[in-house]
């Protein structure tokens, strides 16, 4: 077992846990999209690690493209308006689109993206979220077709998820020690 990062309090999902979740999601998507050549859309930056694994777990032909979005700050984030920093290079009219996200929290980012891409007349659009954060009293604005697992409302990092752009390269999902973000 790899040494735990000193800033991480505990491991929530080990590499082994992640592997089996991704495997299962890949099987579901492969069965649903056989012969449909879906376009997998990864939302930068957090979803990159999950997308790289998920696309290799999908056994049917697919294409991949990337979008980058940013919220203008907390106030705007809660209104669900995000700014497109990098748009798709692929035309999605008539395509089956799968948006891939690392984590769904309020769901506002995804809700905005789904509405935006729906306006381009894809044949279908679904969401694959590796994690859904369970926040008491909060119902996410989007219900993903494919969900890896649910996580508690803790400060989690790794497997693409960052704190101040750090920890994205940890191969597991861990809970950050409060001392790290209370500094
Ligand atoms: C995270 C995550 C989602 C979004 C989820 O991205 O990747 O895009 O927040 O939150 P929501 O459901 O409340 O909208 P972040 O803005 O941290 O950017 P990153 O992917 O570059 O880390």
Catalytic residue among 17, 32, 105, 162: 105
The percent of residues above 90 in pLDDT, for the chain, comes to 81
How far is Cα 165 from Cα 183, in angstroms, rounded to an integer?
16
How far is Cα 14 from Cα 8, in angstroms, rounded to an integer?
13
**Predicted local distance difference test score (pLDDT) of residue 138:** 81
105 in catalytic set: yes
What are the distances in angstroms from CA 86 to CA 10, 82, 117? 34, 12, 14
The percent of residues above 70 in pLDDT, for the chain, comes to 94
Q: Has residue 139 got a pLDDT over 90?
A: no
Q: Which residue has the higher pLDDT, 119 or 81?
A: 119
Residue of 72, 85, 103 best suited for mutating to test ligand 1, as the one with most atoms within 8 Å of CB: 103
pTM above 0.85, yes or no: yes
- Mean pLDDT for the chain overall: 93
Question: Among all chains, which residue has been given the structure tokens 């789904």?
Answer: 114
Question: 164 CA distance to ligand 1 centroid (A)?
Answer: 12
Q: Which residue has the higher pLDDT, 109 or 132?
A: 132
Tokens of 176: 């950050």
Q: Is 159 left (phi over 0), alpha (psi -120 to 50) or beta?
A: left
Residue pLDDT, tens place only, 43-66 = 999 999 999 999 999 999 999 999
**Predicted local distance difference test score (pLDDT) of residue 76:** 44
Residue pLDDT, tens place only, 7-31 = 999 999 999 999 999 999 999 999 9
Ligand 1 atom closest to the Cα of residue 168 is 22
Question: 109 CA distance to ligand 1 centroid (A)?
Answer: 7
Q: Which residue has the higher pLDDT, 2 or 61?
A: 61
What are φ and ψ of residue 121, in 5° steps? 55, 55
Which range is least confidently modeled, 83-92, 139-148, 149-158? 139-148
How far is Cα 163 from Cα 65, in angstroms, rounded to an integer?
25
Mean pLDDT across the stretch 127-142?
90
Give the residues surrounding ligand 1 with Cβ less than 6 Å away.
43, 45-46, 101-109, 162
């Amino acid at each position: 077992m790899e040494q735990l990062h000193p800033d991480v309090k505990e491991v929530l999902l080990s590499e082994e846990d992640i592997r089996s979740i991704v495997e299962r999601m890949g099987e579901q998507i492969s069965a649903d999209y056989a012969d449909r050549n879906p376009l997998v859309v990864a939302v930068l930056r957090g979803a990159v690690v999950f997308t790289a694994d998920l696309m290799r777990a999908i056994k049917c032909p697919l294409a991949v493209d990337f979008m980058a979005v940013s919220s203008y700050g907390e106030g705007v984030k809660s209104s669900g308006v995000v700014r497109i920093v990098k748009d798709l290079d692929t035309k999605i009219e008539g395509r089956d689109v799968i948006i891939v996200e690392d984590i769904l929290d309020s769901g506002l980012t995804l809700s905005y993206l789904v509405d935006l891409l729906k306006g381009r007349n894809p044949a279908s659009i679904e969401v694959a979220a590796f994690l859904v954060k369970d926040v008491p009293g909060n119902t996410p604005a989007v219900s993903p077709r494919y969900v890896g697992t649910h996580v508690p409302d803790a400060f989690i990092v790794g497997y693409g998820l960052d704190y101040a752009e750090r920890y994205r390269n940890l191969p597991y999902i861990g809970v950050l020690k409060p001392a790290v973000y209370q500094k």
